Amino acid sequence: MGATVVGRCLNKPKLFLPKASSAKERPLASFQAETSGKPYQPLPTLADARRFEDGIVILQGDDGGQIYLVAHAMEVKCSPETLEQLLIDLDEIAWPGNDKNSRGTFYERRQIGYPIAGGMGGGVVSEKPWIHKQFSALENAILSVLHGNRARIR
């Protein structure tokens, strides 16, 4: 016979369910691209990001609740392992005891001036590496790590 109607939604907006993002995509960036229709070009590795003039590195913590650093991938001379250690060190300063799964390193293609959405003001793609103001006292050490001149900020 006929189909049974369990529930009805008349003139109600549909619930938006974002697609599941891969481990290589920043969930907030993926969500923004999906809802705005603007392109989002995540990249899987530092080596991939270095292949593009607009390839960038984003270090974030607290599940996107804080952007720590945004830098052009071509300017990052340290190894991916050293970059991960920098992320761990920054995360332990900003969010001591936070779950290690809430921090992440992401690679994308973005133009200068592009805002990187995230908590605590987000970040921005700039000519020089953008470092969250919380780490201003460590800026020289952070840059030294990025440039491959030292292994840790402390």
Sheet with 42-43, side-by-side order of all strands: 42-43, 104-109, 55-61, 66-72, 130-131
Torsion of CA 148, 80, 53, 101, to 10 degrees: -130
Q: Give me the pLDDT at residue 13, please.
A: 56
- Give the Cα-Cα-Cα angle 103, 152, 126 (nearest 5 degrees): 65
Q: Give me the pLDDT at residue 40, please.
A: 80
- Single-letter amino acid code for the residue at 75: E
Q: Give me the pLDDT at residue 39, please.
A: 77
pLDDT values of the chain reduced to their tens digit, one per residue, 154 residues: 454 444 444 555 554 444 444 457 776 676 676 776 777 889 999 999 999 999 999 999 999 999 999 999 999 999 999 999 999 999 999 999 999 999 999 999 999 999 999 989 999 999 999 999 999 999 999 999 999 999 999 8
Residue 123 bridge partners (DSSP): 116
Structure tokens at 5: 């109607």
